[in-house]
Structure 1
């Protein structure tokens, strides 16, 4: 049985790489926060003042390991979804649209809260690096969503191929 090769339009290929880039930027910032051990230890101590240093260290180590596993899983999921979308699977485009839309909405909310001063009035401290990462990922996600829908014919062709092919 010959495998049909799908030609990926340029805009869809760019959207794929924007999704992957957005996931990488978000993951790198998350991992950088995980390795701020001093902040993690002080936060653990603030939340649980009765814990010993050994307990705090064990909790922080476990949290860092769990965080790394989650970060890798999210990066792999976004990469697989982006590659599946590039192959013309409409369901992957829909999933990316929902995830990306939520990311864009959260990013705009976060940037708006910072810009209006609402975050500071609530006592929420936003680091410049976090704001930059939020701005970058918001733009990457919004751009990827727009590009995916500029070439809807790529997904329509895939649906036609899938419905015309015999099922085994």
Structure 2
């Protein structure tokens, strides 16, 4: 017989961190989708990389790439949502995974911003559209904030789910 389990709601800062992770994943997915649905750029890039291919082959490759990209973006969004919810329930392993992913995201975002601001990116022919720049700033701030909030409430991860003692154990 299964024992009823009760949980306490997460502290406010943990709940905010959960929604920051989900928002960051959503912004990242929106940026990715904007790039993914720029079909003209995808076709021209495919043509530049494979000039010997016919238009039908390029179209098929771009269509397959878009479909695969949508699948990957959905998997990543669902994974972030599940990790954020597990973290909010007090799972320390989820906090660690989110910290590693978030730290990598913050480092990459800062690298992109520094490269853009210093002109190094332009020297290598890399351009950042204003929407891409804005999304980088937003996701970097969201991820850094979520990491800080998770560690401000470390006590939440030392508590575990409590078992209601009014029911007999089997």
| Alignment match, 1:102 | 104
CA deviations over 1:45-77 (Å, ceiling 9, x no partner): 000000000000000000000000000000000
| Alignment match, 1:146 | 148
| Alignment match, 1:165 | none
Decide which of 3, 16, 32 is 1:14's aligned counterpart.
16
CA RMSD of aligned residues (A): 1.4
CA distance in 1, matches of 2:64, 2:30: 19
Question: Larger RCO: Structure 1 or Structure 2 (Cα < 8 Å, ≥ 6 residues apart)?
Answer: 2
Runs of 4+ in 1 over 6 A off after TM superposition: none
Alignment coverage as a number of residue pairs: 162
CA deviations over 1:137-162 (Å, ceiling 9, x no partner): 00000000000000000001128x69
1:24-35 alignment, distance < 5 Å = 24-35=26-37
CA distance in 2, matches of 1:131, 1:23: 16
Q: Normalising by structure 1, report the TM-score.
A: 0.93
Structure with greater helix share of residues: 1
How far is the alpha carbon of 1:97 from its aligned partner? 0.1
Structure 1 runs not aligned, ≥5 long: 163-167
| Alignment match, 1:45 | 47
